[in-house]
Amino acid sequence: MSLIVYLALIAAAVVALRRGPAQALLAVYLPVLLLIPDSFRAITPGLPDPTFSQAAMVPLFAIVILRHGRDWQPRLVDLMVVAYGVIVGYSDFLGRGYNDAQNLMFAMLFAVIGPYFVARLVITSEAMQVAVARRFVILLFAAALIGLFEARFGFNPFHVYLRPFFPGQGLGWVTTFRHGMARVAGPFSHAILAGIMMVIAYRLQRWLEWGRHWEPRFTRPIDLPWDKARVIRIVLAVAAFMTVARGPWIGAAVAAAIDLVARARDRRRALAIASAALAAGAAVGVVMLAQYLDIQPGVKMTMSQESALYRKVLFEKYFAIALDHAWFGWGLTTWPKVPGMESIDNYWLLLSLMHGLPALGLLVGMMTISVVQCLRRGLAEPTQSPSLAFTFAGIFIAIFVSLGTVYLGEQVLPTLFFLLGWAQALHTSERRAIRSRSNESASARVQAAPAFRACIC
């Protein structure tokens, strides 16, 4: 039954060959990535066990490389992504051997390198940027609407109705509750991961709305009188709230601050103010957290204090273990476990444990470089114009903050690298436009020169 995963591979191959990789990306890969949980795999004896999104990426990646590979001009982040995938795969091979590591090695190729380069080579025009952003937001909007059902009835339909096709898979993912509320996880299996995805969709929606890329109202499947952009924005915000995930909420606040910079008349001044405010807020937060965790003897801790204290002690205990295997880590699941602390709710610590400090440095480095590049591009754009560059900067910072509270897994992993590739495509498309304008100017000067000489003869 689990072999139905390969339908995604077939669909992506057919659409990519008949209508091109761009249409396969929009019509197959994004729907599969954003609406089908990555916790379900095709169990294939002797071969890696792909998820739906990984299976769809196999032919898409191959066709994109064949058709667009000649246009590739290497950039630093490209090389860092490849190095990250190689180091993570090799690390797990060292820690667990090939039979256990093959799924992670396969994932590095088709959930990290593949999505990055597909976005990098395919999303090369403004029309494609708008099309991808619209499809991404609409799919998350649909997931958010289904999330209302999950919040009301306390079970996840994305898992419940797919689980019969995948016996024994996905059983560890259940709807959790906080403050008496069901935490919506949707197709992303974990509420914090769902929160990250909703924040990404919200920020892309705001860019689309600012650029007037939405129709005035919904016309399909039925004609509705409501403002389309506003309805989508409200539903995504409600869905992010229903995840009851503090990490993504904090990340969303930082991303909102970056969006305010993009809307300011003097972006440089606004960025300086926002940076100072965020730095001051971080400093105050550290002080408040220290006071919050200064628990007096005999005083009963709240659940929030217990969670925060757990993370603090966890970091202290596992940091030394990570340093013992600093170069390539211990492998995906084979690091020494501290009794009672098997769950590591900080991906930066977890990554160093699993795959070593070089992998950690590469991921932090490529995200930092992407943020800096996006901010520089955003500052160079006309003021008060819709800025996809500032949108990406906010998204990357939001993800960075959120990963301090959850692991980088399920669909968030390929989504992050897809967005990193999209951001690099944004920079390269601008460079091509500048070169094109430069060539046109040079051509015009060459054509004008003979006429000028003829005139003075």
Please list, residue by residue across 206-240, b when 16 or more beta carbons sit within 10 angstroms of its beta carbon and e when fewer do. bbbbbbebbeeebeeeeeeeebebeebbebbbbbb
Q: What is the pLDDT of residue 144?
A: 93
Please tell me the chain's helix, strand, coil percentages from 3-state DSSP, rounded to the nearest 5: 75, 0, 25
**pLDDT band per the 50, 70, 90 thresholds, residue 307:** low
Q: How far apart are CA 206 and CA 441, in angstroms?
A: 35
**pLDDT band per the 50, 70, 90 thresholds, residue 431:** low
Q: What is the pLDDT of residue 394?
A: 92
Q: How far apart are CA 202 and CA 163, in angstroms?
A: 29
Q: What is the pLDDT of residue 302?
A: 58
Q: Give SS3 for 181.
A: strand
Q: What is the pLDDT of residue 172?
A: 76
Average pLDDT rounded to a whole number, residues 11-40: 94
- Is the pLDDT reported for residue 298 higher than 80? no
Average pLDDT rounded to a whole number, residues 226-246: 89
Q: Which residue do the tokens 């499947």 mark?
A: 221
User: For 364-402, how does the pLDDT look when each residue is reduced to its tens digit (9 = 90+)?
Assistant: 999 999 999 999 998 888 877 888 999 999 999 999 988
Average pLDDT, whole number, for the chain? 83
| Lowest-confidence pick of 69-78, 374-383, 431-440 | 431-440
Q: What is the pLDDT of residue 388?
A: 92
**pLDDT band per the 50, 70, 90 thresholds, residue 54:** very high
Q: Give SS3 for 182.
A: strand
Q: What is the pLDDT of residue 301?
A: 57
- Is the pLDDT reported for residue 230 higher than 80? yes
User: For 156-192, how does the pLDDT look when each residue is reduced to its tens digit (9 = 90+)?
Assistant: 888 888 888 888 887 777 777 777 777 888 899 888 8
Q: What is the pLDDT of residue 428?
A: 80
Instruction: Give the H/E segment covering residue 97.
Output: none
| Lowest-confidence pick of 185-199, 215-229, 321-335, 356-370 | 215-229
Q: How far apart are CA 374 and CA 387, in angstroms?
A: 9
List 304's β-bridge partners, or say none.
none
Percentage of the chain with pLDDT > 70? 86
- Geometric angle at alpha carbon 353, from 347 and 359, rounded to 5°: 75
Q: Which of 164, 139, 159 is nearest to 149 (CA)?
A: 159
Average pLDDT rounded to a whole number, residues 239-247: 87
> Cα-Cα-Cα-Cα dihedral of 116, 119, 120, 121, to 10°?
130
Q: pTM (2 decimals)?
A: 0.87
Q: What is the pLDDT of residue 288?
A: 53
- Is the pLDDT reported for residue 417 higher than 90? yes
Q: What is the pLDDT of residue 214?
A: 85
CA 40 to chain centre: 20
Which stretch, 131-145, 296-310, 330-344, 346-360, has highest mean pLDDT? 131-145
Greater model confidence, 57 or 45:
57
Average pLDDT rounded to a whole number, residues 272-283: 78
Average pLDDT rounded to a whole number, residues 424-451: 55
Q: What is the pLDDT of residue 442?
A: 44
Greater model confidence, 118 or 326:
118
Are 42 and 3 contacting, i.e. CB atoms less than 8 angstroms apart?
yes
Q: What is the pLDDT of residue 430?
A: 62
